[in-house]
């Protein structure tokens, strides 16, 4: 049933399957033209995301991808952006032990690395990861050595690294990760809406539970971007400071991002 829903969604949105979905209730869709794109953004969603809810408004990956493209067309009409809405892992339910542990994130990291490798085989455009909530835990496990230009985490419960520098280890010399003209270390961004409940989640790790460092902390060393007054599901809502800044990050316009 999920597979039929996914295919129906492709026809309705004009998006295309980037690659065969991994086993289970997973889906990866691309919005825009990857062949002609100047930049590529990958949206990595958090808990409670399923194939069935994939396109339910800008708080879900499909709707977020469309919102990002619309904002890019407004801000930079002559630049070509492609957006990958990525549900390549089994996102845990919010009210579960899985949502406060790295189990699903560790499994998703391998799939996300494979997705980026597929992208690198099809385009030389810089790739940015936009990682929401539990998706930031997935990205934290994925990023070391990955050939990307930027990483943005927002609404994050924490990341498993003491600093942005530790999170973004440079690519191995001579490997595929050192190609495609990406910077030695990706730029790392962090944002948090003023009314996001995730601010009350302790940023710590105790055994298998918890996620570690708060990426918004000064000690972590990320570039903090303005996320406005929104709540946990509002980062891609049209007209928000968070959507504008995430779009500018995806477009590589770091000097225009407001802090």
79-110 residue pLDDT tens: 999 999 999 999 988 878 877 878 888 899 99
Nearest to 135 by CA among 236, 46, 27: 46
CB 11 within 8 A of CB 53: no
199-225 residue pLDDT tens: 999 888 877 787 889 999 999 999 999
User: 152-168 b/e with 16+ CB inside 10 Å = b?
Assistant: bbbbbbbbbbebbeebb
* pLDDT, greater one: 94 or 38: 38
**Could you give the strand order of the β-sheet that contains 187-191, starting from the edge strand earlier in sequence?**
16-17, 27-31, 81-87, 39-44, 127-132, 150-154, 187-191, 223-224
Give the mean model confidence (pLDDT) for residues 136-161.
Answer: 94
Domain ranges of the chain: 2-256
CB 240 within 8 A of CB 228: yes
44-78 residue pLDDT tens: 999 989 999 999 899 999 999 999 999 999 999 99
Rounded Cα gap, residues 246 and 223, in angstroms? 12
Instruction: State yes or no: pLDDT of 181 exceeds 60.
Output: no
Rounded Cα gap, residues 28 and 16, in angstroms? 9
Give the mean model confidence (pLDDT) for residues 165-169.
Answer: 86
Rounded Cα gap, residues 107 and 252, in angstroms? 29
- Residues with Cβ < 8 Å from 121, sequence gap 6 or more? none
Backbone angle region of 59, left / alpha / beta, with phi > 0 → left and psi within -120 to 50 → alpha? alpha
Under CATH, which architecture does the 2-256 domain have? 3-Layer(aba) Sandwich (3.40)
Mean model confidence pLDDT for the chain: 86
Q: What is the pLDDT of residue 176?
A: 41
Q: What is the pLDDT of residue 99?
A: 77
Cross-strand bridge partners of residue 251:
none
Instruction: State yes or no: pLDDT of 230 exceeds 70.
Output: yes
Instruction: State yes or no: pLDDT of 113 exceeds 60.
Output: yes
> What is the pTM assigned to this prediction?
0.87
> How far, rounded to the nearest angstrom, does the alpha carbon of residue 149 sit from its chain's CA centroid?
13
Q: What is the pLDDT of residue 205?
A: 80
CB 152 within 8 A of CB 129: yes
How far is the CA of 159 from the CAs of 89, 92, 105, in angstroms? 18, 17, 11
């Amino acid at each position: 049933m999920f597979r039929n829903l996914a295919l129906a969604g492709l026809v309705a949105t004009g998006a295309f399957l980037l690659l065969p979905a991994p086993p289970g209730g997973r889906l990866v869709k691309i919005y825009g033209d990857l062949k002609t794109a100047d930049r590529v953004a990958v949206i990595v969603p958090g808990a409670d995301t399923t194939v069935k809810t994939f396109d339910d408004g800008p708080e879900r990956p499909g709707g977020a991808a469309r919102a990002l493209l619309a904002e890019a067309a407004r801000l930079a009409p002559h630049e070509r952006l492609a957006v990958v809405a990525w549900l390549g892992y089994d996102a845990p339910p919010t009210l579960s032990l899985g949502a406060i542990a790295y189990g699903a994130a560790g499994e998703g990291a391998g799939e996300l690395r494979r997705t980026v490798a597929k992208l690198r085989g099809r385009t030389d455009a810089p790739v940015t990861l936009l990682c929401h909530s539990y998706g930031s835990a997935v990205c934290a496990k994925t990023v070391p050595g990955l050939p990307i230009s930027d990483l943005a985490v927002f609404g994050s419960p924490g990341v498993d690294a003491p600093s942005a520098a530790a999170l973004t280890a440079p690519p191995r010399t001579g490997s595929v990760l050192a190609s495609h003209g990406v910077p030695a270390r990706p730029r790392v961004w962090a944002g948090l809406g003023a009314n996001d409940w995730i601010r009350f989640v302790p940023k710590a790790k105790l055994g298998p539970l918890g996620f570690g460092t708060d990426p918004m902390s000064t000690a972590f060393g990320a570039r903090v971007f303005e996320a406005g007054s929104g709540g946990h599901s509002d980062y891609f809502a049209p007209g928000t400071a968070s959507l504008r800044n995430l779009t500018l990050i995806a477009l590589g316009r770091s000097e225009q991002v407001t802090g």
